[in-house]
Amino acid sequence: MLSLGNAVLSERKKMTEMKAVLLDVSGVLRDNKAAMWNSFQRVLAPAGFDFGLTFSDFASTPEKALAAYRLRGLQKYNLVENCIEALWALQKSGLLLSDGLENPALIDAAVSAHPFSGKQEWALLVKADFRRTDLEYLDSVQPVLHAREALHRLSARVALGLVSNSGSAFNRAWLDRHGFSQFFRAFVAESDVAHKKPHPDGIMLACRRMFVLPQQCYYVGDAQSDMTAAMAAKSVPVGVLSGTATRPQLEAAGAWRVFDDVWGFANALTNTRPV
């Protein structure tokens, strides 16, 4: 059990003891940016998606790819199929993604005007490309900086679990390859629940598997849907900036605290200083 005496965490009212930390994988432990958007390009560009209107060439303009990755930080467009529909609608409307990120209502209007009936089919193809399990590919998708050190620090003080919208086989293969599986007492993937995040089902299931109450858990995520799911489960939502959403987006979605990454959260929670 972890006592929260650290002044850094004093804002949390009446939070004296927590028993577990649940984490997302993508954007919290795994750096998906290049791999995800390379999959989008490989699968969708030949089908007529003009990424020049959105994130252009990843290699030459990584800041545009990051901007597109930020689209998944918005709760409505976190799921791959909804992200694809938004990119399609923006293209059809002649809008830049940067316009939509500054004013998400423009994305909503574009999607209403240009719904994309093929989004589910194309999402399956993108996921299949992204979730490969050959060792060369798994090695190329690297952990977030200092994620391993953060897990060492957290697991020495509190129980850890994972709740992800990604596929079980890919997540388990990636976690095993990078030596992360040993840290976790429970793992919930998209196939384990009827409703993915932003619904709280995954967090609730992980808590049951770990024999803890949701109120006794932090949930660490990088997207608005993570914050929504945590609040619905009555867990404490913690945001990190190593993935899709920005600080204002996470705070607007209800994040209790926002850290640069999981290492920053681990340091604050365990009352220690970075080395």
What pLDDT is attached to residue 102?
A: 84
Measured distance CA(23)–CA(221) in Å, rounded: 6
pLDDT tens-digit profile of 25-34?
Answer: 999 999 988 8
> Would you tell me the crossing angle of helices 224-233 and 201-210 to the nearest 10 degrees?
60
* Full set of structural domains in the chain with CATH: 2-31+142-269 (3.40.50.1000), 33-137 (no CATH)
Beta carbons within 8 Å of 253's beta carbon, 6+ residues apart: 75, 224, 225, 227, 228, 237, 239, 245
**What does the angle CA 166 – CA 101 – CA 203 come to, to the nearest 5 degrees?**
30
Share of the chain above pLDDT 70, in %: 86
55 phi and psi, to 5 degrees? -115, 5
Q: Pick the residue with more confidence: 257 or 271? A: 257
pTM: 0.85
Q: Alpha helices, DSSP H only, in the chain? A: 33-44, 62-71, 80-93, 97-102, 104-113, 119-130, 135-140, 147-155, 168-177, 201-210, 224-233, 247-252, 262-269
pLDDT tens-digit profile of 65-100?
Answer: 566 678 888 899 989 999 999 988 988 998 887 788
Q: What would you report as the CA-atom Rg of the chain, rounded to the nearest whole angstrom?
A: 18
* Residue the block writes with tokens 């940016």: 33
Contact 251, 258 (CB under 8 A): yes
Q: Token pair of 212, please?
A: 């803890």
Q: Pick the residue with more confidence: 272 or 102? A: 102
